[in-house]
Structure 1
């Protein structure tokens, strides 16, 4: 493709694309305008974290907490989440490593050959994204992105590359938090990952009381079916599809340069011997854990979960050198987690530790506010709306839960609402703003070679449908569950 042709194509798609956008209809035009607004006015997510620190500090001072108490709480609590921060970073790294392994690449090639039309290809990518995100959101995001790129390389069908990219993102914007890599559910199931203040409020909540509730499984299934249907209906037909080539994206499959052994010391880097030893050790330990304990409890341990994916990634790459190269490529995607989670821990400490003269904390006052605003019948709806709104400004499932959980779960106890379902209310509602906030799109955009505005146009249509659907189902299912007091370890 000539440089002039590529320039003209980009002009059609990025500077209005009046003809095609007009044929795409009202929803596409509205969504693309919203995408332009988000890209122009939304700062980096780290700025939102800093704003949240300032708001929490000022609110605590207004409440009557001494300035020294606010400063001490923030500084002491800043490091409370270091173990959990490392755990969540490893979720991203191990998921990426597995998704980019040679066996996974072969599976992607075979899957990419299955769809028969451009629109079915988009819905197929959406299905894969949603299903894989239930296992590991990092894996699902990368795997679906590579699948979208592989489908776009096909010459026998015409696929709208924007719609395919948006479909690859639906796992993060749909049901990832209802799966086993859910930050909030993992956190609540692991007492060593909880702050002391939160543990005293919630106790330990196992997976069977969160993601394995039948209400949660039905909710995930409904969201999956609806998301795939919308992906199919909103994808442009082949006549109006904007291809990767028209967007100026180079789809040439780049073959990684294989390093060769250059010195005797390199031998072990290219030998599978040590990989096999590590895999056998992990497999033996896991078999014993599953044989002696409840499988649900075993898999809900975030350390076990990460160790399993780490060993799987090593096996799939086979040689330590290939594994290390994949890890190096994955690390940049963890930067937001590594720098922002400590700030979220500091915010949570201000909320739960800085006390006013009468002994009240900010978390206690917010909890009372939720209780006053809600009734047992409306609590799920109020919490869902609040969590979704806050998610626009703090796009982090685990970090935001640390901030919200002390007062949300305290209010849940006061309202006698099912604690596990309150976690799931948070999980389902927290995923909604991901459909329009580009923070978690960054790893995917790097794979696809696109900008956020290309994807948000389609994910915004999903958001408009998901918002009333998810909130309504959260409210409906809340009435089917009874309250159980916290269980402390």
Structure 2
């Protein structure tokens, strides 16, 4: 297995292009397919792409802030010290892979935005202490639990259908989380993946040509040089008062909002991360530097998300998505519908790597198809969610932030992720059939 993984990884490194190139190629392929299906409407296809290009601009900014505030929070010294102590628990290469996967899995269960940061830091810290561990595989182990977020507390689909006033409420009603993320079938799949995925990662671990973690030299910025100057301005910037007070104001607002019955959403999470970051960093200058360091890691998401928004618009307006789902309705039965929905969601996720965006596109069509076969709406929702998480392993978009933090390219980890996705697909397909 490790020989297969090594050869496959080397092949992927050679042939896999940059993630932005992949996004543009997918866009052109979808527009070409849409033109084949609608040969008399080339301008309509272009118009739908352009109209959809900025559809998720608000969501994009929320994602950017979520990642940047999360990264800045993770740079708080006592949090880094805690993760360093956890990383020191791994005494061998195999322990390094397992520990990295489990810590990242816990973070993904809590919040997938925070998990990107925690995964990057724990992989880097574990890599520092385990030079016998293959660092690209460590990073793959940190990213692999992305498949689990569907069953977690930040599940976009699971939380969406449980929220009063969601866009499909008139069709499926409000589905409680006891029927989605806390359903026994969902928990069974979650536990099975948490147990078996790290074992599969260990089997892929290379025995030779190991690439260890290498610490990059840190450049001293002009701001850091200036801080050596003792002046009133520098004292004001280094003061612990302003960050502490600002952070407390934000936290007070959060408490009042929850007291008044506000639900957890992306805006609340962003404000919580921002406020905690300011409170713990204390110095405004220190927080600004941490925020600035995070900025370069987020640029790929800002660049690529509009292209995927355009792809989602083309999928919907051209009838491609509807054709795929109609095909499923024709071949599936009430027993196999969940499996076919899972496979379809995995395929759609490659073109539309956003849980919320995919649910908006696929949800109405898939729910209607399931209703014709008498399938429970909660099962349809979770099958779409599991499919979305599954092919996150081979859709490079959400791996970009963690790769930017650790200094690797997508091609360094994708060979391992593709092989792991095969295992996840087999296990989840079998379990969806039996447990839902």
Common topology (TM > 0.5):
yes
Asked whether the equivalents of residues 395 and 437 of structure 1 are also in contact (C-alpha less than 8 Å), the reply is yes
Flag the 1:65–1:457 CA change in 2: closer, same or farther, 3 A.
closer
For 2:187, what is the secondary structure of its paired residue? Answer: helix
Give the Cα–Cα distance (whole angstroms) in 2 for the partners of residues 243 and 160 of structure 1: 5
- Out of 422, 425, 428, the position equivalent to 1:470 is 428
| Pairwise CA distance, 1:380 | 1.1
Flag the 1:219–1:289 CA change in 2: closer, same or farther, 3 A.
farther
Superimposed CA distance per residue, residues 330-358 of structure 1 (whole angstroms, 9 cap, x where no aligned partner): 2233334323333333344444456xxxx
Asked whether the equivalents of residues 2 and 206 of structure 2 are also in contact (C-alpha less than 8 Å), the reply is no
Superimposed CA distance per residue, residues 30-87 of structure 1 (whole angstroms, 9 cap, x where no aligned partner): 2233223333333344444444444554555534774454444333333332222222
Flag the 1:203–1:57 CA change in 2: closer, same or farther, 3 A.
farther
**1:317 maps to what in 2?**
281
Superposition RMSD in Å:
3.5
Flag the 1:473–1:91 CA change in 2: closer, same or farther, 3 A.
farther
**2:151 maps to what in 1?**
178
Flag the 1:266–1:49 CA change in 2: closer, same or farther, 3 A.
same
Give the Cα–Cα distance (whole angstroms) in 2 for the partners of residues 372 and 236 of structure 1: 44
**1:284 maps to what in 2?**
252
**1:251 maps to what in 2?**
215
Give the Cα–Cα distance (whole angstroms) in 1 for the partners of residues 205 and 396 of structure 2: 20
Please show how residues 71-470 of structure 1 align to structure 2 within 5 Å: 71-154=46-129, 158-172=132-146, 174-185=147-158, 207=177, 209-235=179-205, 242=210, 244=212, 249-251=213-215, 254=218, 258=224, 260=227, 264-293=232-261, 298-299=263-264, 301-353=265-317, 363-392=321-350, 394-470=352-428
Task: State TM-score, norm by structure 1.
Answer: 0.75
For 1:175, what is the secondary structure of its paired residue? Answer: helix
For 1:169, what is the secondary structure of its paired residue? Answer: helix
Give the Cα–Cα distance (whole angstroms) in 1 for the partners of residues 187 and 202 of structure 2: 23
Give the Cα–Cα distance (whole angstroms) in 2 for the partners of residues 413 and 454 of structure 1: 43
Give the Cα–Cα distance (whole angstroms) in 1 for the partners of residues 233 and 340 of structure 2: 61
Flag the 1:353–1:457 CA change in 2: closer, same or farther, 3 A.
closer
Give the Cα–Cα distance (whole angstroms) in 2 for the partners of residues 364 and 414 of structure 1: 15
Asked whether the equivalents of residues 32 and 456 of structure 1 are also in contact (C-alpha less than 8 Å), the reply is no
Give the Cα–Cα distance (whole angstroms) in 2 for the partners of residues 140 and 127 of structure 1: 11
Give the Cα–Cα distance (whole angstroms) in 2 for the partners of residues 150 and 387 of structure 1: 35
| Pairwise CA distance, 1:468 | 0.7
| Pairwise CA distance, 1:384 | 1.3
Asked whether the equivalents of residues 56 and 351 of structure 1 are also in contact (C-alpha less than 8 Å), the reply is yes
**1:9 maps to what in 2?**
none
Give the Cα–Cα distance (whole angstroms) in 2 for the partners of residues 202 and 263 of structure 1: 63
Asked whether the equivalents of residues 137 and 176 of structure 1 are also in contact (C-alpha less than 8 Å), the reply is yes
Give the Cα–Cα distance (whole angstroms) in 2 for the partners of residues 210 and 471 of structure 1: 17
Give the Cα–Cα distance (whole angstroms) in 2 for the partners of residues 461 and 149 of structure 1: 23
| Pairwise CA distance, 1:128 | 0.6
**1:487 maps to what in 2?**
none
**1:35 maps to what in 2?**
9
Give the Cα–Cα distance (whole angstroms) in 2 for the partners of residues 413 and 36 of structure 1: 45
Please show how residues 59-78 of structure 1 align to structure 2 within 5 Å: 59-61=33-35, 62-63=37-38, 66-78=41-53
Asked whether the equivalents of residues 137 and 171 of structure 1 are also in contact (C-alpha less than 8 Å), the reply is no
Give the Cα–Cα distance (whole angstroms) in 2 for the partners of residues 79 and 443 of structure 1: 21
Flag the 1:200–1:351 CA change in 2: closer, same or farther, 3 A.
farther
Flag the 1:47–1:109 CA change in 2: closer, same or farther, 3 A.
closer
Flag the 1:414–1:222 CA change in 2: closer, same or farther, 3 A.
same
Give the Cα–Cα distance (whole angstroms) in 1 for the partners of residues 289 and 432 of structure 2: 42
For 2:102, what is the secondary structure of its paired residue? Answer: helix
Give the Cα–Cα distance (whole angstroms) in 2 for the partners of residues 54 and 44 of structure 1: 16
Give the Cα–Cα distance (whole angstroms) in 2 for the partners of residues 404 and 46 of structure 1: 24
Flag the 1:47–1:254 CA change in 2: closer, same or farther, 3 A.
closer
Give the Cα–Cα distance (whole angstroms) in 2 for the partners of residues 364 and 160 of structure 1: 43
Unaligned runs of 5+ in 2: none
Give the Cα–Cα distance (whole angstroms) in 2 for the partners of residues 255 and 124 of structure 1: 30
For 1:298, what is the secondary structure of its paired residue? Answer: coil
Asked whether the equivalents of residues 301 and 397 of structure 2 are also in contact (C-alpha less than 8 Å), the reply is no
Asked whether the equivalents of residues 177 and 183 of structure 1 are also in contact (C-alpha less than 8 Å), the reply is yes
Give the Cα–Cα distance (whole angstroms) in 1 for the partners of residues 418 and 314 of structure 2: 34
Flag the 1:310–1:211 CA change in 2: closer, same or farther, 3 A.
farther
| Pairwise CA distance, 1:243 | 5.4
